Amino acid sequence: MENNKAYEDLFLVQKRSKKIFIFIQVLSVFLLLNFWKIQVLDHKKYWEKSEANRTRKIVLLAQRGLIKDRGGTILADNKASFKVSIIRENCEDYDKSCRKISRLLMIEEDVLKERIKRYESFPVFKPIVIKENLSFEEVAVIEARKLEFPELFLQAEPKRFYPFGNLAAHALGYIQELSGEEIKNGLYKQRRLGDLIGKTGVEKVYESTLVGTDGESLEIVDSMGRSKGEIAKREPEKGQNIILTLDYALQEKAEEVLEGREGAVVMMDPQTGEILALASYPTFDPNKFIDRFTPEEWLDLINSSEFPLENRTVRGQYAPGSIFKLVIDLGALELGLVDEETVFTCKGEIEIYNEPFKCWIEKGHGEMNLIQGIRNSCNIYHYQVAKKMGIDEISRYAKMLGFGARTGIDLPGEKAGLVPNPQWKREVRKERWQPGETISVGIGQGPLMVTPLQVALYTSIIANRGRKVTPHLLNSQSLAGKRLFSEKDAVDIELSTFETVIQGMWEVVNKGGTGWAANVKGFDICGKTGSTQLVSTEKDKEKKVEEEEEEEEAKTHSWFTGFAPRDNPKIVVTVIIEYGGMGGATAAPIARKLFNSYRRKYD
Amino acid sequence: MIDRNLLRNTDWILIGILLLNSILGVAFIYSTSHYLPGNYYVKQIFWMVFSMIALFLFLCVDYSTLVTYSFYLYLVLIGVLGGILIFGTPIAGAKSWFKFPFFNVQPSEIAKIMIILLLANVFAKFRKNYLSMGKGLLSVSIIAVPAFLVALQPDLGTALSYIPILLGALFLAGLNKKTIIGILICGLLLGIFGWNIGLKDYQKKRLTALISPSQDPLGSGYHILQSKIAIGSGGFLGKGFRKGTQSQLRFLPARHTDFVFSVVGEEFGFIGVVLILLSYSFLIWRLFQSIGHARDRTGVYIIFMVAIMIAFQFLINLMMIIGLFPIAGIPLPLFSYGGSSLLTTYLGIALVLNVKMRRFANI
């Protein structure tokens, strides 16, 4: 030892070391306070974050209920399909991510961004579907590169599939992705972004029955997103199946006979209101709507001048033409203005209220009674019936027989048509009713507008001799079909009145009348043809200018409506062919094929 | 060689608390890595046993002898640190380890012991009230050489962990206002220089992540955020041993090494944090209290620097895991998995015990 003292004077260094010790203690207390804040004060926040870290909620999509025809043939089915969504929250760099995804999934970057942009306002953790109907290769690629793309979320979903393509497309409708607005306006509370819902047809009307309840699975995941097992699960509940009144074979036939034309067919059981076939042509393939990316065909469909999306059976409004003549015949008979033996003479032309009116045959039909008037569909005869009746009675009977009001069928967007009267003209057109218009309306022209389904209903009222039913697509035997199609009050017309008119209708088809082409041997068909001329009102005159160059034939819509058999009627067939020419020439032979098909199957 | 007096003067309480903390550490290493291959907790037990043997061997040699030869030990250290840069195999991108068949040794950890011994030597005969320019520059360069070599590995965290030891020694020697200002200016210049030239991008990101960890949750802020989630979700009582979802499901990074204390927070809650903090505080208190039992200035410096070494690693590690300090790769002494760190702590404690048991001069 250098110094003499045994022990050094260490007072100063020891004092300094104590200062440091105090400093360390202060720091420790400061740290402890920080831990207190994180663990006790902010515990809830961090607990939630750790739960969010470790659990993943997976929606197990429920299958939509099937839609079957009356014989059990599946018209709307489900098939397995994969879709991939993006969770923006998980993107490290949104633009880079989009670029990489566009390469991975072969989607153009602009299309992808546009797609995501539509849902911009939704929370970033919500998955947005970017591609569906993935091929197995695509599924494999996404699965394999899961770690590289934490923002992608792969999901299996049962997908709607219409095995017969465009068969009954208008009746079935189609499903499409729920739009952002539809979610926000709260109509579909249980549904989520990207869910598919029925947009029209039966799919829409019975949405709540068809749609199931989605299940949910809560999984534990590790930091790499690998599942470590399920902790809770609620199985999805499949939507209920529904059975329709449609008959697959008749529907197929109805579409077959319409092919290449524009028109509609309604086949209905007059006693129950069950619709056996509901065809509108041109048509579309509802399978195409399920894709979330709008294909070009979709644009073609919307922009087509032939309106293939329009369901002509309930939304097409046409002048009824001669098929309306039965309305005034029924009314006039019932009111006692005419009877079976009332005779008028047709010379091919007549002047009423100082206006010339023509029959459809230039040389005229000659002398005839009411039944012959129906058989020949004579205009001159009916002008005089209409004149006797007056517009108020005509419109009253038209409404009684189902015109001017929705039939109440279980389809969305049904049109009501139009039954004009002086009051309507005053209020809507701000014009006075012209007496000549009564004459036009009497033969189904003028502002009168009807839908093919209304014509079918009207035919069934006649077939039932006054009993009115509600046309419907849902089979009452269907489990979901607890909805009752109430029978409305019977029409206030005598049975004998009906029998007279039905005799006329029978002769139309079976005794060389205008509808002879609809004749099916041994199947007592009663019917009525119609050919609408687009000439009588001023509004139609504008149309006429455009169509002047076309032939007269081409401008008429061709109608046929009828029922069979005459006693105890089983089937109503209504056909309209747009620009089809005379009813007897075009619509009647088509109706014949349909009656034939029905008879082969059911009679 | 060890007489009865020495045995009687051994601080068994210090050894006890040392063992207790090491065993708790093994338990947490087990909790965080039992599902991983590599048997980390077994290896840690092996290192514990090895370190304990090293500790007792270290007690046999009088610390004054160690201090006498400290300069040669230091030269060997510089040689080793230089050699590792040339011959070392990089592990995880850094040439920090010497590879042996069953274990790796990190000389930059053990370097702390050599540095403490040499600094003690430098200040052994320093009797002035305030630090002189010469001693100051000498001690700075004693730290600077190994720190520079370690920073080249690159292992900035360990290099920076030498600084509290140096500052502690300087403080003990006595700092007047002029010196403090000088150190601050030097530090500032070094900081600016380092930010612009020395720091790698990931290191800069770690610093900026401190300010707003949630801005970039999957980048630099991820570690801090996940660590805070682990600690915060533990709440007051914790989720239970081996039941911490953040660590068991691997959301927490480096959970058996640098972030092992986050697991304490998650699995044993605030209660666990307080208890472990108390046991560390007791260890640190015991070390500082030992200063009074040193027979000479050398002993005081040794004990003080060991205490500083352990205390600051402890504090910085805890600040790091709750986002108050950049993620600098500083392990929690005795808790974090890693043999070299454990051995260094044991050797440091051995030095303290050595000084304490030889407090009565043999005159």
Per-residue pLDDT of B233-286, as tens digits, reads 999 999 888 888 888 877 787 888 889 999 999 999 999 999 999 999 999 999
- Indicate whether A187 pLDDT > 80: no
- Indicate whether A124 pLDDT > 70: no
Tokens of B223: 């570690």
Contacts of A12 in chain B (CB under 8 A): 129, 174
Q: What percent of chain A has pLDDT over 90?
A: 44
Lowest mean pLDDT across A484-493, A575-584, B213-222: B213-222
Tell whether B222 is within 8 A of chain A (Cβ).
Answer: no
Give the confidence band of B188 by pLDDT, cuts at 50, 70, 90.
confident
- Indicate whether B48 pLDDT > 70: yes
**Which candidate, A64, A106, A66, A98, places its Cα nearest to that of A81?**
A64
Give the confidence band of B363 by pLDDT, cuts at 50, 70, 90.
very low
Q: How far is B99 from chain A (nearest CA, A)?
A: 31
CA distances from B298 to A576, B71, B122, B172 (A): 114, 14, 9, 12
Helix H or strand E encompassing B26: helix B12-33
Give the orientation angle of helix B260-290 with respect to helix A11-36, to 10 degrees: 160
Helix H or strand E encompassing A22: helix A11-36
- Indicate whether A31 pLDDT > 50: yes
- Indicate whether A483 pLDDT > 70: no
Tell whether B180 is within 8 A of chain A (Cβ).
Answer: no
Contact present, A460 and A273 (Cβ < 8 Å): yes
Q: What is the pLDDT of residue A535?
A: 47
Average pLDDT in chain B: 86
User: Domain locations in chain A?
Assistant: 56-243, 248-285+310-602
- Indicate whether A538 pLDDT > 50: no
Tokens of B303: 């004990």
Which member of A97, A322, A395, A536 is catalytic? Answer: A322
**pLDDT per residue as tens digits for the range A84-123:** 888 877 777 788 888 888 888 888 888 888 888 887 766 6
Give the confidence band of A547 by pLDDT, cuts at 50, 70, 90.
very low
Quote the CA–CA distance of A590 and A260 in Å, as a whole number: 13
Q: Which residue has the higher pLDDT, A263 or B221?
A: A263
- Indicate whether A7 pLDDT > 80: no
Q: What is the pLDDT of residue B207?
A: 64
Quote the CA–CA distance of A364 and A359 in Å, as a whole number: 7
Q: Which residue has the higher pLDDT, A329 or A51?
A: A329
Q: What is the pLDDT of residue A582?
A: 85
CATH 3.40.50.970 fits A56-243, yes or no: no
Contact B250 A222 (CB under 8 A): yes
Q: What is the pLDDT of residue A354?
A: 86
**Beta-sheet strands, E only, within A127-235:** 128-132, 152-161, 175-177, 196-198, 215-221, 227-234
Chain mean position to CA B130: 27
Helix H or strand E encompassing B117: helix B107-124
Q: How far is B1 from chain A (nearest CA, A)?
A: 21
Smallest Cβ–Cβ distance between A223 and the set B249, B296, B308 belongs to: B249
- Indicate whether A537 pLDDT > 50: no
Nearest chain A residue (CA) to B267: A39
Quote the CA–CA distance of B305 and B349 in Å, as a whole number: 11
Tokens of A225: 């997103």
Interface of B with A in 26-85 (CB under 8 A): none
**Which candidate, A155, A125, A126, A123, places its Cα nearest to that of A139?**
A155
- Indicate whether A253 pLDDT > 70: yes
Q: Which residue has the higher pLDDT, A213 or B287?
A: B287
- Indicate whether A286 pLDDT > 80: yes
**Cα angle vertex A510, ends A371, A276, to 5°?**
105
Q: How far is A38 from chain B (nearest CA, A)?
A: 5
Quote the CA–CA distance of A95 and A88 in Å, as a whole number: 11
Chain mean position to CA A589: 29
Nearest chain A residue (CA) to B317: A31
Q: What is the pLDDT of residue A88?
A: 79
**Mean pLDDT on A579-586:** 86
**pLDDT per residue as tens digits for the range A287-313:** 877 765 555 666 776 777 777 888 999
Tell whether B318 is within 8 A of chain A (Cβ).
Answer: yes
Give the confidence band of B120 by pLDDT, cuts at 50, 70, 90.
very high
- Indicate whether B216 pLDDT > 50: no
Contact A17 B294 (CB under 8 A): no
Superfamily of domain A248-285+310-602: DD-peptidase/beta-lactamase superfamily (3.40.710.10)
**Mean pLDDT on A564-583:** 91
Q: How far is A231 from chain B (nearest CA, A)?
A: 14
Q: Which residue has the higher pLDDT, B48 or B91?
A: B48
Q: What percent of chain B has pLDDT over 70?
A: 91
Contact B234 A13 (CB under 8 A): no
Average pLDDT in chain A: 85
Contact present, B239 and B267 (Cβ < 8 Å): yes
Q: What is the pLDDT of residue A369?
A: 92
Quote the CA–CA distance of A569 and A313 in Å, as a whole number: 22
Contact B230 A43 (CB under 8 A): no
Core vs surface per residue A190-210: b (16+ CB within 10 A) or e? ebebbbbbbbbbbbbbbbebb
DSSP A456-515: HHHHHHHHTTS-----BSB-TTSTTTTS--PPPPPPS--HHHHHHHHHHHHHHHHSS-TT
Quote the CA–CA distance of A571 and A460 in Å, as a whole number: 8
Tell whether B336 is within 8 A of chain A (Cβ).
Answer: no
Contact B245 A31 (CB under 8 A): no
Tell whether B234 is within 8 A of chain A (Cβ).
Answer: yes
Secondary structure of residue B210 in the 3-state scheme? helix
Smallest Cβ–Cβ distance between A31 and the set B250, B319, B363 belongs to: B319
Q: What is the pLDDT of residue B2?
A: 54
- Indicate whether B287 pLDDT > 60: yes
Tell whether B233 is within 8 A of chain A (Cβ).
Answer: yes
- Indicate whether B293 pLDDT > 70: yes
ipTM for the assembly = 0.92
φ, ψ at B21 (rounded to 5°): -65, -40
**Mean pLDDT on B80-96:** 81
Quote the CA–CA distance of A540 and A555 in Å, as a whole number: 11
Contacts of B230 in chain A (CB under 8 A): 50
Count of other CB atoms within 10 angstroms of residue B236 = 13
Contact present, B155 and B109 (Cβ < 8 Å): no
**pLDDT per residue as tens digits for the range A345-396:** 998 888 888 888 888 888 888 899 999 999 999 999 999 999 999 999 999 9
Contact A39 B232 (CB under 8 A): yes
Secondary structure of residue A4 in the 3-state scheme? coil
**pLDDT per residue as tens digits for the range B155-172:** 888 888 899 999 999 999
Quote the CA–CA distance of A75 and A240 in Å, as a whole number: 14
Contacts of A221 in chain B (CB under 8 A): 249
Q: How far is A64 from chain B (nearest CA, A)?
A: 37
Quote the CA–CA distance of A220 and A372 in Å, as a whole number: 82
Is the dihedral angle over the CA atoms B66, B67, B71, B73 positive or is it negative? positive
Quote the CA–CA distance of A119 and A128 in Å, as a whole number: 7
**Mean pLDDT on B38-47:** 89
Q: Give catalytic status of residue A179 as yes or no.
A: no
- Indicate whether A536 pLDDT > 50: no
> Do the domains A56-243 and A248-285+310-602 sit in the same CATH topology, yes or no?
no
- Indicate whether A225 pLDDT > 70: no
Q: What is the pLDDT of residue B70?
A: 93
Return all residues near A393 (Cβ < 8 A) that are at least 6 apart: A331, A335
**Beta-sheet strands, E only, within A26-73:** 55-60, 67-68
Quote the CA–CA distance of B308 and B302 in Å, as a whole number: 10
- Indicate whether A541 pLDDT > 70: no
Q: What percent of chain A has pLDDT over 70?
A: 88
- Indicate whether A586 pLDDT > 50: yes
Q: What is the pLDDT of residue A226?
A: 65
- The neighbouring-strand residues paired with A213 are A237
